Structure 1
Amino acid sequence: MLKSGRRHLMASLIIPISILSGCGGSNDEVKETTTPVAPTPVSMTLEKIGSYDGVALGAAEITAFDPASKRLFVVNGANGSVDVLDLTNPTTPKLISTINVSSLGGGVNSVAVHDGLVALAIEAKQKTSPGVVAFYNAADLKLLHSVTVGALPDMLTFTSDGKSLLVANEGEPNSYGLADSVDPEGSISVITVNRSGTSTVSTADFKAYIGKEAELRSSGVRIYGPGANAAQDIEPEYIAISADNKTAYVTLQENNAIAIVDIATAKVTAIKPLGFKNHNVAGAGLDASDEDGGTNTNSGTPAIKIVPQPVKGMYLPDAIARYTINGSTYLITANEGDARADWPGFNEETRVATHCKLGLDPAIFGSDAANWLFDSNLGRLRITTTPNGGSAGKNAAGLCTDLYAFGARSFSIWSSDIVRVYDSGDELEQRTKALNNVAFNASHDNNTLDGRSASKGPEPEGVVVGTFGNKTYAFIGMERVGGVIVYDVSNPNAPSYVTYLNTRNALTGDRGPEGLTLIAADKSPNSKPLLIVGNEVSGTTAVYQLNLTY
């Protein structure tokens, strides 16, 4: 993932959508309806009906739609701007304008829309400095005003009533331990929206946790950046908002946790660790190597081998979406995984064979512990050297006792108090192995079989949720292999697979889905529910139609 960014029925029918959260933006069709006013579909398929090609890597990241003007706002990471597309005819989106923010900062990371008001998250020219949120009128693209927020503002979303706008300020460092190192604090800006004047900003920060790093670590929250206190180390990534607009749930991706924020007071009320996934049970395995076509070898060939492995998965979610079933709130996370691997002065990412040079502890890994280190087994799997603070997952003799992989290659469902009620196990990898248009676990920039098996697999990144009648569907975008997979999550304890569409063709087509935006039928330009997918690597904005059967 590039950190600079991120992302029906007949016209007379209204579809109650209980949450709308794509990877990076939020739209004004977010509604909370307790009684369905539309029939319940028997099935659903996705159909690609339109596309716009930005003709550059990063030209389509996060998207947001304004129903009144029928304009689609697309973050163009290649130019640091926003492309404005006319979506009057969703089969042929047309570029009508571009919003240039060079006078306000270094580039746009995210966009959200509510009732004709467009909000842009703009990072500073020096990303460690405070950023800006700028407000524009969707109809004429006039800049209304801007406000200062935290360092590296990324995902932003309106409350459903449009009165508040919340921004996840990642606060990434420029490096660790160097003479010019700057590590700003992460935070969540709570903006009180003023359409006729200047909005005001309150800050939900993590200062209260400075000095409590040991307590956080012991609870399972990852605090591990060299020399960073808790406020500096915590990096808010993505936000979902409760139905009553009182509470925000914020993924802290690198920290493997979720923060709970009281919106009215702009206070962080809790930080909840997500724990680890056990990949060593049936149905929760993974393909851990791109050389697993042999037995106990360091020169194997690629093969599809999804099996249980003695590995722990750190969820490290990117996008989060909220929905409600029978009055209870549930959260869905796309467990992408993200390593601090590209920072000058610090790199936590390594491979099992490198990290465990002295071997694996046979008391844990069994009598054949030595065999796990072969490249055809776990030797090439990318893991962290620093699961939490100074821990390295080793015993006093230097033998590895725990192996922690990035991401869980799944989506998970959590209760509102952050207790996991469901995880998709190895199903995402299982569903992608039969594709005939792209090699299994290929990355978004190649078509190599097993290319991402040793590193996070399909990498689920974006998620949006929509309710149709009495069914709720989750749409999950898979950043690496591509496409959007759909599950019926009406029963949070037992979701069921619905459909999967991947519009990639080897090294062409839509690659690297980043942001997802769901458009309800009553807001849609063609009176059909639409899913907009910003594909970062191909630079294409795809328009999917949801075809529902009754």
Structure 2
Amino acid sequence: MKRILLFSLLLTALYSCKKEKAIEEPEFFVNEDAKTFAEIGMLDIGEIGAAEISAFDPLTNKLFVVKNENEGTPTQDNRIAVVDFKNPAAMTVIGSISMTPFGGAVNSVAVSEGKLAAAIQNNDKQGNGKVVVFKTSDHSVIAEINVGALPDMVTFSPDGKYIMSANEGEPNATYTNDPEGTVSIISVANNYAVTTINFSSMTSQLPALAAKGFRIFGPGKNFVKDIEPEYITISADSKTAWVTLQENNAIAKIDIASKTITNIFPLGFKDYNIAGNEIDPSDVPNQIGKYTPAKWPVKGMYLPDGIAVLESNGTPYLFTANEGDTREYEGFFVEFLRVKNKDIKLDPTIFPNAADLKTDEKLGRLNVTTTLGDTDGDGDLDELYSIGSRSFSVWNGNTGTQIYDSKNELDVKCVAAGAYDYLRSDDKSVEPEGVALGIVGNTKVAFVGMERADAVAVYDVTVPTSPVFLQLLKCGDAPEGVLFIPAKNSPTKKSLLIVSSENDGVLKVYTPNTI
């Protein structure tokens, strides 16, 4: 009798498991070919500044797009454009949200669970800005939070419990007012309580950081004020954030729960004098249309803008778009000069061919920083450091160690596709600006937007230590925002890539073929 009872219980248990498994929602999967992205939709929403950053809400099928037009003029218009995205092939603008009640330009938007967060700078750029949270359904205000000066980027943690903003704190035009660079951490569940942290806790580490390529420079050289947070990415478990400190050539690591900066990773420099890193540093007229890469005695400062994290086998891999940026306050402080400038004096022992290097066909036209390079303090430059690294990189998020760099591949691929801007060879070349990560079918993919090439490079990053180039997508003028929508959240139930371009106000949508 006991055996029969046990057998009966076992059958019941098996039936329950089968029944439970049968009603489980299957994992959403579309078998897509990641190297076949093609344009399916385009929307022009305005003029310069009209399409910088986009965020998508799967609950309402709305796309929210940063739209700043006529910045700094009497007709300045700062708003968020609202786009009906039910059919990406036939997008339409259905409304907008004015920023006038909240401040000046809107710099960034992010969406989570029916909430839209917007980073809005003060009308006085050096004053504290705001993060305003709206309902995606009716655009009513949920919360209005004061953050640091010039909130440049906003994002939600993956679990939706936090909003973070990178508050750049740029100086004013005369460099007489330089606010602190800060990061704000907003607790959604705790009535949007905010903690804004600066970098004062790391001040004592400056000598060690500087030795590894960390930059504190400009009038005053104030550690806390000179740090300029640019872009944020957050770990899948919502516990850790990494922030690019662009002008400082570094990435900061933040523990979200304790609201503390736990590390700063200086990124060092890229050597253009080794194989694979060759650059074309000249834009002289007789070289237009001729890409002539070569080894040069120059180093590139990474100075990353966009950052995204991919976690694999327990390691966070940080992907950065190494745009490069400089401090340029005409008449007050400009950090760069062309190599041929009379004020750029090259050490005669290290550069015995200085006169030749200073010609336009060689390094003469290349922009380099004046804040680095005089290693022995004798008034001439022993090393040359140019702006940005013309690449994207992968870094270990635990240690800051570089795992991979695309070397000069972005240049090479853009030249081959007819997308290279030869007039930018002397500056930052293709100018990698934004990076987004996603899974397309079974392939982990990175999308790298290049501001001066007007293109997005697509890479297979299934093995994050060895990215593989897949294709190049041409887009609008000066792509600023690169947004990936996974198939499970997409209105088409296929993966989508949205590229928003700030110089022509154009949105473009791409999707891959199914297999």
CA offsets per residue over residues 300-347 of structure 1, 9 Å max, x none?
766311222111000000000000122221010000000101355110
The question of 1:354 aligning with 2:345 is answered no
Q: Secondary structure at the match of 2:283?
A: coil
| 1:65 maps to which of 45, 56, 62 | 56
The question of 1:468 aligning with 2:440 is answered yes
Q: Which residue of 2 aligns with 1:309?
A: 296
Give the counterpart letter for 2:315 in structure 1.
S
After superposition, the Cα gap between the structure-2 partners of 1:371 and 1:292, relative to the gap in structure 1 and judged at 3 Å, is farther
The question of 1:330 aligning with 2:297 is answered no
- Tell me, yes or no, if the aligned pair for 1:353 and 1:379 is still in contact at 8 Å: yes
CA offsets per residue over residues 94-145 of structure 1, 9 Å max, x none?
1111100111111211100001100011111101111111110001111122
The question of 1:379 aligning with 2:364 is answered yes
TM-score scaled by structure 2?
A: 0.89
- Tell me, yes or no, if the aligned pair for 2:34 and 2:445 is still in contact at 8 Å: no
Greater helix share, structure number:
2
Cα shift at 1:167: 0.6
| 2:253 maps to which of 260, 271, 274 | 260
Cα shift at 1:217: 2.2
Q: Which residue of 1 aligns with 2:415?
A: 433
Give the counterpart letter for 2:60 in structure 1.
S
Give the counterpart letter for 1:278 in structure 2.
D
**Please, which moves more after superposition, 367-376 or 129-138?**
367-376
Equivalent-residue separation in structure 2 for 1:527 and 1:492 (angstroms): 26
Q: Which residue of 1 aligns with 2:177?
A: 182
Q: Which residue of 2 aligns with 1:17?
A: none
Cα shift at 1:370: 2.8
Give the counterpart letter for 2:224 in structure 1.
A
Equivalent-residue separation in structure 2 for 1:292 and 1:269 (angstroms): 49
Q: Secondary structure at the match of 1:451?
A: helix
Give the counterpart letter for 2:370 in structure 1.
T
Give the root-mean-square deviation of aligned CA atoms.
2.0
Q: Which residue of 1 aligns with 2:5?
A: none
Equivalent-residue separation in structure 1 for 2:88 and 2:331 (angstroms): 44
Equivalent-residue separation in structure 2 for 1:250 and 1:191 (angstroms): 16
Equivalent-residue separation in structure 2 for 1:144 and 1:428 (angstroms): 42
- Tell me, yes or no, if the aligned pair for 2:156 and 2:164 is still in contact at 8 Å: yes
TM-score scaled by structure 1?
A: 0.84
Give the counterpart letter for 2:37 in structure 1.
L
Equivalent-residue separation in structure 2 for 1:301 and 1:201 (angstroms): 51
Higher CA-based Rg: 2
Equivalent-residue separation in structure 2 for 1:378 and 1:170 (angstroms): 32
Equivalent-residue separation in structure 2 for 1:343 and 1:193 (angstroms): 41
User: Which aligned pairs between 1:116-155 and structure 2 lie closer than 5 A?
Assistant: 116-155=114-153
Q: Which residue of 1 aligns with 2:275?
A: 282
Q: Which residue of 1 aligns with 2:390?
A: 409
After superposition, the Cα gap between the structure-2 partners of 1:353 and 1:106, relative to the gap in structure 1 and judged at 3 Å, is same
The question of 1:488 aligning with 2:450 is answered no
Cα shift at 1:36: 8.7
Q: Secondary structure at the match of 1:103?
A: coil
Q: Secondary structure at the match of 1:433?
A: helix
Q: Secondary structure at the match of 2:90?
A: coil
CA offsets per residue over residues 14-33 of structure 1, 9 Å max, x none?
xxxxxxxxxxxxxxxxxxxx
Cα shift at 1:355: 5.8
Equivalent-residue separation in structure 2 for 1:394 and 1:212 (angstroms): 20
Give the counterpart letter for 1:403 in structure 2.
L
Cα shift at 1:451: 0.7
CA offsets per residue over residues 353-401 of structure 1, 9 Å max, x none?
116654x335434x434311111000000111113xxxx4365554421
Equivalent-residue separation in structure 2 for 1:124 and 1:361 (angstroms): 45
| 1:112 maps to which of 110, 122, 131 | 110
| 1:225 maps to which of 199, 205, 218 | 218
- Tell me, yes or no, if the aligned pair for 1:174 and 1:343 is still in contact at 8 Å: no
- Tell me, yes or no, if the aligned pair for 2:337 and 2:344 is still in contact at 8 Å: no
Cα shift at 1:204: 2.4
Unaligned runs of 5+ in 2: 1-25, 70-76
Q: Secondary structure at the match of 1:220?
A: coil
Equivalent-residue separation in structure 2 for 1:420 and 1:66 (angstroms): 34
Aligned residues: percent identity?
44
- Tell me, yes or no, if the aligned pair for 2:453 and 2:478 is still in contact at 8 Å: yes
Cα shift at 1:60: 0.2
Cα shift at 1:183: 0.8
- Tell me, yes or no, if the aligned pair for 1:175 and 1:344 is still in contact at 8 Å: no
Equivalent-residue separation in structure 2 for 1:212 and 1:42 (angstroms): 47
Give the counterpart letter for 1:94 in structure 2.
T
Cα shift at 1:468: 3.4
Give the counterpart letter for 2:155 in structure 1.
T
After superposition, the Cα gap between the structure-2 partners of 1:355 and 1:219, relative to the gap in structure 1 and judged at 3 Å, is farther
- Tell me, yes or no, if the aligned pair for 1:291 and 1:302 is still in contact at 8 Å: no
Q: Secondary structure at the match of 1:534?
A: strand
Equivalent-residue separation in structure 2 for 1:236 and 1:354 (angstroms): 31
Cα shift at 1:288: 0.2
Cα shift at 1:213: 4.0
| 1:193 maps to which of 170, 180, 188 | 188
Q: Which residue of 2 aligns with 1:13?
A: none
Point out which structure has higher relative CO (alpha carbons under 8 A, 6+ apart). 1
**Please, which moves more after superposition, 128-137 or 464-473?**
464-473
Unaligned runs of 5+ in 1: 1-34, 294-299, 442-449, 504-509
The question of 1:216 aligning with 2:223 is answered no
The question of 1:90 aligning with 2:88 is answered yes
Cα shift at 1:219: 3.7
Q: Which residue of 2 aligns with 1:527?
A: 493
CA offsets per residue over residues 502-530 of structure 1, 9 Å max, x none?
14xxxxxx111001111111111111111
**Please, which moves more after superposition, 163-172 or 204-213?**
204-213
Equivalent-residue separation in structure 2 for 1:205 and 1:255 (angstroms): 14
After superposition, the Cα gap between the structure-2 partners of 1:132 and 1:357, relative to the gap in structure 1 and judged at 3 Å, is closer
Q: Which residue of 1 aligns with 2:332?
A: 345
The question of 1:74 aligning with 2:65 is answered yes
Give the counterpart letter for 2:355 in structure 1.
A
After superposition, the Cα gap between the structure-2 partners of 1:228 and 1:343, relative to the gap in structure 1 and judged at 3 Å, is farther
Q: Which residue of 2 aligns with 1:542?
A: 508
After superposition, the Cα gap between the structure-2 partners of 1:356 and 1:462, relative to the gap in structure 1 and judged at 3 Å, is same
Equivalent-residue separation in structure 2 for 1:258 and 1:348 (angstroms): 21
The question of 1:318 aligning with 2:305 is answered yes
- Tell me, yes or no, if the aligned pair for 2:32 and 2:512 is still in contact at 8 Å: no
Q: Secondary structure at the match of 2:341?
A: helix
Give the counterpart letter for 1:186 in structure 2.
G
Give the counterpart letter for 1:62 in structure 2.
I
CA offsets per residue over residues 439-496 of structure 1, 9 Å max, x none?
x32xxxxxxxx21010000000010011235421100000011111111112222211
Q: Which residue of 2 aligns with 1:238?
A: 231
The question of 1:269 aligning with 2:269 is answered no
Q: Which residue of 2 aligns with 1:511?
A: 477
Q: Between Structure 1 and Structure 2, how many residues are aligned? A: 482
- Tell me, yes or no, if the aligned pair for 1:173 and 1:184 is still in contact at 8 Å: yes
**Please, which moves more after superposition, 348-357 or 273-282?**
348-357
